[in-house]
Structure 1
Amino acid sequence: MSPRRNRNGTAPTLIAFGKRLRRFREANNWTQEALAVRAYNGAGVKPQYIGMIENGRTKCTEKFAQSMDQLLGANGELVGLWHDLVEDAGYPVWFDWPGIEEDAVSIHAFELGVVTGLLQSRPYAATILKGNEEAIEGRMRRQRILTREEPPPPEVAVLLDKSVLYRDVGGHEVMRGQLEHLVDSVSDRLIVQIVPQRFHTGISGSFTLATMEDRSQVGYAETVARGVTMSDEADLARMAEALSSLRAHALPVDMSIDLIRKVVAENWM
């Protein structure tokens, strides 16, 4: 059974782990910024991520706990606490999704309405975010995980409803650039497939399933009000089943690319 949550959406076990991490950090006279840059043997994380862990607002991986244990001289205590307090805890309702993306080893997404954020061009994102420069920059920063060297980029598989290719977001030039960007993004670690317009299991909305290095998973779905995270095993199983069904109906990658190019030539030139 998942740990009880307080009204702020945080699990008490995550708060307890975060407090202990803070005590070790302060005992070493390090700020959150100083600790963040040293994480993962210098690969680093955002200081905000450290803050969210210390406040119990997000769940870290075992690898992160090991990194902190070694850095802070905890002699195995933080790793032990991770197993006792964090391993079986659900993800909080409110948390930093980019932090999860940064730690994920694979990301599988289905998008019903627009191109997924990790693959949006700047003009396309600017249109969706109504020119909010801070939000645009944040979205562009998220995409750095796709080109980083250490740790290796996550494996990303994106399923797009065919309607996304025809939905006018920003006009012909923006759409042409966005769809060309989709084609250019495809690689050995990143695939894009188009799901034909039909009644399918994704018709109720977009969602993402991220898998962490310890094989734990977290789901994410967008609503009108905000994004919602899910860690319940039944919810994650339904997401995985839906992705499997959608993938079975999707066009192969090469046919998807051909279709995207065809839509560009016929609709957005």
Structure 2
Amino acid sequence: MNRKELDPEASPGAEFGQRLRTLRDERGWTQDELGVRMGCSGTHISAVETGRRPPTARFAASADRALGTGDQFERRSRAVRNTALLEGFPEYVKHEGVAVEIRLFNMGIIPGLLQTSEYAQALTRGDVRRGAITPEQADERVSFLAKRQASLTRPGPPMVLVVMDESCIRRPIGGSGVMDAQLASLIDFAELPNTVLQVAPFDMGERRPFNLPVNLLTLVDRSMVAYAETHAQGHVDRESAAVLPLLTAYHQLQAESLSQAASVAMINEVRKGTP
């Protein structure tokens, strides 16, 4: 029987699933048998064990009763629900930290790796005001971003290729001062020897191949990793059948986008308030 291998360090959800599977295996129970004891289906057990479904407080309490683990799973489930990071994203970041090439496409906001701390803080403050995250989760996001950005300055840094939709540089975040500093930081980024920065202009229209953000990594062994996310969950894919079409589309995106020189010129125009 094929079983998905789990990395308990990838996220709190993966750790929860791994622990649930381990204790179930120790008792010699199938997923269906544990499901009967917990009052749910074996399919539900499978989804939680493999990280495809986050554990609710009710599910965790049922697991503790069925497995005799006190409040162990209830405490673990709180960690899953309280994290500010999407399921799957920590796994992607582990690959990102050792990648030799990073390709990014973003819409609406500046990609995280290029955000100034003030810009990132403005975004998280907005999430806090809407009640989407807590102040503690906001701090976690900003701290986690700083760690990601530090990997770009390691010895032998990766080649970083970034295409941003024009909306990224025209959408004001954090007020004029924060935005001006962010745009200036983009220009500095474009001058680095291991970077390429391009803007996909609005008039690209339907020729733009992506309508969602794209993250593509090339690892030391030349294998590739793709990361995509919905509002609720992120997903890492290493299957070439899924990744290679994204790489082809990314090359097409670069060909249709402004050159780096033209992109920097557009950023400077936005800084000056030129329409």
Q: Please confirm whether the aligned pair reaches a TM-score higher than 0.5, indicating the same fold.
A: yes
Determine whether 1:194 maps to 2:199: yes
- Percent identical among aligned pairs is 31
Structure 1 or 2: more helix by fraction: 2
Cα RMSD after superposing both structures: 2.9
Unaligned regions of 5+ residues in structure 1, if any? Answer: 6-10, 19-47, 58-91
Asked if the contact 2:121–2:142 (Cα under 8 Å) also holds between the matched residues in 1, the reply is yes
Give distance in 1, aligned partners of 2:2 and 2:199: 40
Structure 1 residue 218: Cα displacement: 0.7
Select the residue among 97, 104, 111 that pairs with 1:102: 97
CA 1:55/1:105 → structure 2, altered by over 3 Å: closer, same or farther? farther
Give distance in 2, aligned partners of 1:226 and 1:53: 13
Determine whether 1:134 maps to 2:140: yes
1:114 paired residue number: 109
Asked if the contact 1:201–1:242 (Cα under 8 Å) also holds between the matched residues in 2, the reply is no
- Larger-gyration structure (1/2): 2
2:230 paired residue number: 223
Determine whether 1:144 maps to 2:166: no
Q: TM-score, normalised by structure 2?
A: 0.62
Give distance in 2, aligned partners of 1:172 and 1:226: 32
Q: Write out aligned runs for 1:23-34 (5 A).
A: none
Equivalent AA in structure 2 for residue 254 of structure 1: A
Give distance in 2, aligned partners of 1:154 and 1:53: 28
Structure 1 residue 124: Cα displacement: 0.9
Equivalent AA in structure 2 for residue 141 of structure 1: K
Give distance in 1, aligned partners of 2:158 and 2:101: 5
Give distance in 2, aligned partners of 1:237 and 1:213: 17
1:237 paired residue number: 244
Unaligned regions of 5+ residues in structure 2, if any? Answer: 19-51, 53-86, 126-134
Give distance in 1, aligned partners of 2:266 and 2:151: 27
